Structure 1
Amino acid sequence: MAAQIAELNHVRIEHNDAQHQQRENDGHHSHSHVSETIRVDVIHPENEKEGTDDHVGPFTKEVMDFELPKRFTLPLTLTPYDGLGDPKKFLKKFRSIMIVNGASDTILCRCFPNYLDGPTLEWLCALPAGSISRFQQLAKLFEEHFAGSAIYLHDSDYLNTIKQGQNESLKDYMTYFTKIAISILDLHPEVHLHALKSGLRPGKFQETIAIAKPKTLAEFWERAKRQIDIEELRQAQKSDRTTYRDDDKTPTSKKGFKVTPRFDSYTQFNAKREDIIKEILNSKLIKPPRKAGTYQDTKNVDKSKYCAFHQKHGHTTDDCVVAKDLLERLAAGPP
């Protein structure tokens, strides 16, 4: 391989090896620089000066002939760019870290390949030979080529744009929020929590969070989980009420109408369904339905049977299809 590419790869390999060694010997490196750095001895291949004048590689001969300061230090705080993420932000981080370490424009050019990985490094090596003389040239080409990569990843600022919809359940809001949050690298928990709270729809739960002031995501999730359970109980009750209203429209000539079970099998609870229903009603998590429905003949009601859920005679709580469906949904939990 040509001397220029060989040198780029050599410095990059030393940089990667130094990173690994740095993690194992944390605390033993020099603190002479503001950012975390590793000292790299610049080695010039013996055949570099003996080679021909054929110029291979993106940088001009002037850039490659520039002698780096003795025992120049490469910062370790920047993760190599692999083609994912905003190239503008990467360039900004690279410049700021290198400038703090006293890097000139030529040094920026020489060090930039060390912070590229995979397809981005291949892109750099494929640029026209001797076409880059200043870092600004390289930065412009880099930004233009990888501009499309910015759309694939969100950053923490994007979380502040996520708001709970007027009719969106807390569960749906948190599911979408979490999906975006886990795709953000190095997301700080405090930033995560602040954005999550800020996106809540105005209402009782938002007021509860404002008063409780959870300091961790775990604390917030515990309160959110209880609220989600309450919302799902209310939704189940609302669905049952809709069923009853539909039943009220059934012609009176249809005798013996029965509610169709929604499940093929039901969970066997340790306690009786009647006791569980009573406990839920007593806790006021849900309210009893207003009507029992028209599936029972009110003229010939069996007074020996009573449903704690409908609070009417005619069938038992254990045989009540609506109550059994409700408990089954609650037992199954979130889908």
Structure 2
Amino acid sequence: MTDHSETQQPPQTNADLTAANAALLAENQRMAELLAAMQNNGDRKVDSKRTNAEQHEEHQSESNAKTGETPTKSGRRRANPFSEEIMSYKMPQNFTLPMTLTPYKGIGDPKFHVTKFESMMFLNSDCDPILCRSFPTFLDGAALLWFSNLSAESITSFDEFAKMFINHFAASKIYVRDSDYLSTIKQGLHESLKDYMTHFTTAALEISDLKPEVQLHAIKSGLRPRKFQEAIAVAKPKTLEEFRDKTTGQIEIEELRETRRNKKLPLQKDDDKSAK
């Protein structure tokens, strides 16, 4: 019979094993060098990207320094109209802003707004940088938009800032009522003296540089033609204080009459019900 068993391979010698091991080591070395080359190439690309980003950032910083723009997280740039001296000033730790000043929105007397701001800030500080950096807090609407569009480093002092502000919104003063408006305020037919005085005084407070004699003439002229107006014409008060002294007594009389009238009304209603 024919032997169909597989042909056996001759055993490997030490020389064969040494040669195979050397070939394996060479292949491993080649792969290691290939991986190292790939890693170096990747590092160079990363370094290149980082370098480009750093160069761009440096270039942008130089550009911002020239234009006075401040970068924000959103990528937008906001122009800073204050000089470097104003912005480098270190604000006091205990500094607080006045909270009772209404922001100026572009309508009204800008000079009055500046004057009121300065008077409120007087208790905190009259330092130029503090005034400059605090004033925009009290701007809103069109006024805030005007401030945001000012040229970089165009403001070096608060006097300069205030002058720019007043000149720009000078036309807005036409919306402010003047002393002539007071002559249109008249006591209504059924309006109490107290309500008339409150209405008139509120309007007078909104008028800047109002002369006391003008206010006195207007408030007397607006009285309803009755006995009290005749009494004022006879007494001829020369100051607002004298006029208020006269009105105080008359207001007390009117309030007393009103109290008595309110007490009589329930009695009259009861009498009407009994008669039915």
- Taking structure 2 as the reference length, the TM-score comes to 0.46
User: Higher relative CO (CA 8 A, sep ≥ 6), structure 1 or 2?
Assistant: 2
The structure with the greater share of residues assigned to helix is 2
Task: Give 1 or 2 for the bigger CA radius of gyration.
Answer: 2
- Taking structure 1 as the reference length, the TM-score comes to 0.39
